[in-house]
């Protein structure tokens, strides 16, 4: 759809395959309307994606740690204060951005099927470059990279504040895209984030989707019917899940 300049963290090849699990009805909305919905991070279900949480009883591991009994000089105190403020500012900005989440794991994941789809779900495959080029995003800069599962602690969150999650999500092996408006985050934009869950972009679904895999939870006859729709109506290749469900 366009030649889009985008920025990839951690030196990923633009042709790297990425995968997204979704319900079949959402897939139909993409291929029927040629539109793709991206959610503001602020409206993610995970509370730690929305705000840095502080444990009032035990403190929090996101702040600098110093040796017990060490007396900090003024320069050290100033540095810590600046880093903490920067950390919160960067994280707060990330919650105002549109974010699209994918996985780098080629093999199907049972927990991903259960967490991100209902019984009639699918998984689409694309590449980093095809995802960006398939969307009409001329008003946005795109920054993307893989998630680091080091948890929300100092100093890694200052360096990777847009790409950090807790370690218990590591099996997701997530690759994430952020969309930042080229004219900056204005007060009007912030108000829009509060009012709306996200934004719909025009998309070339044939550029976006390389292949479809059907959920292992779809019954055999239904899978055959859905597969024929994908192949005959939308001219996309599909596969049945390789996972066996008892």
> CA dihedral in degrees (210, 232, 134, 11; nearest 10)?
0
pLDDT tens for the 246 residues of the chain, in order = 555 667 777 678 999 999 999 999 999 999 999 999 999 998 998 877 877 655 443 344 455 555 556 677 777 777 666 776 777 777 788 889 999 999 999 999 999 999 999 999 999 999 999 999 999 998 999 999 999 887 665 555 555 678 888 888 899 999 999 999 988 888 878 888 888 899 999 999 999 999 999 999 999 999 999 999 999 999 999 999 999 987
Under DSSP, the state recorded for 239 is E
End-to-end CA distance of the chain: 43
Question: Helix, strand, or coil here: 232?
Answer: helix
Q: Considering all CA atoms of the chain, what is the largest pairwise distance in Å, rounded to the nearest integer?
A: 71
Give pTM, 2 decimals: 0.84
> What residues does 102 pair with on adjacent strands?
175
- Residue of 243, 61, 73 whose CA lies nearest to 152: 61
Tokens for 158?
């200052």
CB atoms within 10 A of CB 116: 17
- Residue of 244, 221, 225 whose CA lies nearest to 113: 244
């Amino acid at each position: 759809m366009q030649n889009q300049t985008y920025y990839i963290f951690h030196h990923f090849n633009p042709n790297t395959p990425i995968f997204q699990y979704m319900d079949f009805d959402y897939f139909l909305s993409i291929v029927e309307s040629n539109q793709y919905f991206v959610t503001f991070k602020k409206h993610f279900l995970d509370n730690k994606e929305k705000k840095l949480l502080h444990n009032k009883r035990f403190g929090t591991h996101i702040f600098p740690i110093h040796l017990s009994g060490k007396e900090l000089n003024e320069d050290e105190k100033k540095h810590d204060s600046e880093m903490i403020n920067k950390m919160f500012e960067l994280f707060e900005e990330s919650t105002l951005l549109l974010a699209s989440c994918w996985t780098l794991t080629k093999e199907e994941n049972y927990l991903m099927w259960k967490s991100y789809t209902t019984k009639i779900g699918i998984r689409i495959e694309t590449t980093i470059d095809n995802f960006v080029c398939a969307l009409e995003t001329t008003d946005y800069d795109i920054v993307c990279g893989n998630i680091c599962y080091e948890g929300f602690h100092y100093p890694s969150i200052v360096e990777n504040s847009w790409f950090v999650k807790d370690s218990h999500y590591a099996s997701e092996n997530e690759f994430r895209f952020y969309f930042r408006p080229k004219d900056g985050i204005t007060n009007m934009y912030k108000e829009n984030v509060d009012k709306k869950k996200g934004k719909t972009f025009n998309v070339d679904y044939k550029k976006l989707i390389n292949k479809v895999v059907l959920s292992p939870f779809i019954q055999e006859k239904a899978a055959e019917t859905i597969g024929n729709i994908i192949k005959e109506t939308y001219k996309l290749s599909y596969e049945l899940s390789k996972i066996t469900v008892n």
